[in-house]
């Protein structure tokens, strides 16, 4: 008789914890389904995964994933996630944050999270609006967009999330769209396999407050970055999209393509770099080992 205990197969229904509460047609539904598909494809034990979010529509993701989770405070998902990565390094950490949560109040934490390159997958849900608080200008709102906070139109050019991550030296940077299901799923796969801080910009529909943000019914405005180490082009839902061959190991090329975000999807850049959590845990283990050894010195026989 075998002593090996087989783990039960993880199925989509096992990952549901509650019924989502988003507006009809919200892109967050697609992201939620895509994340569940990823866990099923990889057969990841839900008890080995933690989903961490800030405030905003994206903040509700941990409520709807039957894994460990934290719904934290506005802009502070990154330091909470790093605490988890240090306290429980065996857990797979996913961070969910909106464009406002990431690039406004949370911009400083995101900046240092990228710099420290700790192990996680960071998804920036970009609907170019503050949706939960009902239609205010966000850091990625397009110039001229009329909102409740700027009724005559946004005065500023939007922040480019990919350029933000690239300029800070992120070790993995990609962009995808929630309505491109297979492209989104494969992007998460590539990000998960990267060791370090994996930054994914996700174009996300908001039909309630910013329906013009993304023209998801057409694809002639999209450019896909293609490479054998990148993400496959989604032909079925983006037949008219352009394609550019780009190596994700080409930093200058990644910067050039990033200038055209938010109209470019794919893996921009990937690099192996030291991870803050790995180095800190290793240093701590060494320190503990030295301390314990020193305690035995008085009792050693010479």
pTM of the model: 0.93
82 within a domain of the structure (yes/no):
yes
Q: Is 295 a residue whose pLDDT tops 80?
A: no
Sheet hosting strand 197-203, strand order edge to edge: 68-71, 49-53, 92-98, 120-126, 197-203, 172-177, 264-270, 223-226, 242-245
7 within a domain of the structure (yes/no):
no
122 within a domain of the structure (yes/no):
yes
**Domain around 233:** 12-273
What is the distance in angstroms between the CA of the first residue and the CA of the last residue of the chain? Answer: 50
296 within a domain of the structure (yes/no):
no
| CATH classification of the domain holding 240 | 3.40.50.970
| Residue among 162, 111, 196 nearest 264 (CA) | 162
Q: Give the number of domains in the chain.
A: 1
Mean pLDDT throughout 7-23?
93
Structure confidence by residue, pLDDT tens digits, 96-154: 999 999 999 999 999 999 999 999 999 999 999 999 999 999 999 999 999 999 999 99
175 within a domain of the structure (yes/no):
yes
DSSP letter assigned to residue 47:
G
285 within a domain of the structure (yes/no):
no
295 within a domain of the structure (yes/no):
no
292 within a domain of the structure (yes/no):
no
The widest CA-to-CA distance across the chain, in whole angstroms, is 83
Mean pLDDT throughout 33-54?
97
């Amino acid at each position: 008789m075998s002593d090996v205990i087989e783990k039960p197969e993880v199925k989509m229904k096992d990952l549901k914890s509650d019924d989502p509460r988003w507006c009809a047609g919200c892109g967050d539904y697609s992201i939620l389904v895509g994340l569940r598909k990823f866990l099923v494809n990889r057969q990841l034990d839900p008890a080995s995964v933690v989903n961490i979010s800030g405030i905003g529509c994206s903040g509700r993701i941990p409520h709807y994933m039957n894994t460990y989770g934290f719904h934290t405070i506005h802009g502070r998902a990154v330091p909470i996630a790093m605490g988890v990565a240090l306290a429980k390094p065996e857990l797979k950490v996913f961070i969910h944050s909106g464009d406002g949560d990431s690039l406004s109040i949370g911009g400083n934490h995101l900046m240092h999270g990228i710099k420290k390159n700790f192990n996680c997958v960071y998804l920036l849900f970009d609907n170019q609006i503050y949706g939960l608080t009902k239609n205010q200008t966000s850091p990625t709102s397009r110039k001229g967009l009329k909102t409740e906070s700027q009724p005559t139109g946004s005065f500023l050019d939007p922040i480019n999330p990919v350029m933000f991550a690239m300029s800070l030296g992120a070790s993995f940077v990609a962009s995808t769209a929630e309505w491109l299901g297979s492209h989104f799923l494969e992007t998460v796969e590539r990000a998960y396999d990267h060791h370090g801080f994996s930054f994914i910009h996700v174009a996300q529909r908001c039909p309630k407050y910013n329906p013009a943000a993304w023209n998801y019914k057409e694809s002639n405005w999209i450019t896909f970055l293609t490479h054998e180490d990148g993400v496959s082009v989604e032909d079925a839902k983006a037949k008219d999209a352009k394609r550019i061959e780009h190596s994700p190991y080409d930093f200058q090329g990644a910067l050039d393509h990033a200038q055209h975000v938010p109209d470019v999807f794919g893996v921009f850049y990937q690099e192996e770099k030291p991870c803050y959590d790995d180095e800190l845990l290793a240093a701590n283990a060494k320190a503990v080992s030295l301390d314990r050894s020193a305690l035995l010195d008085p009792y050693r026989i010479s």
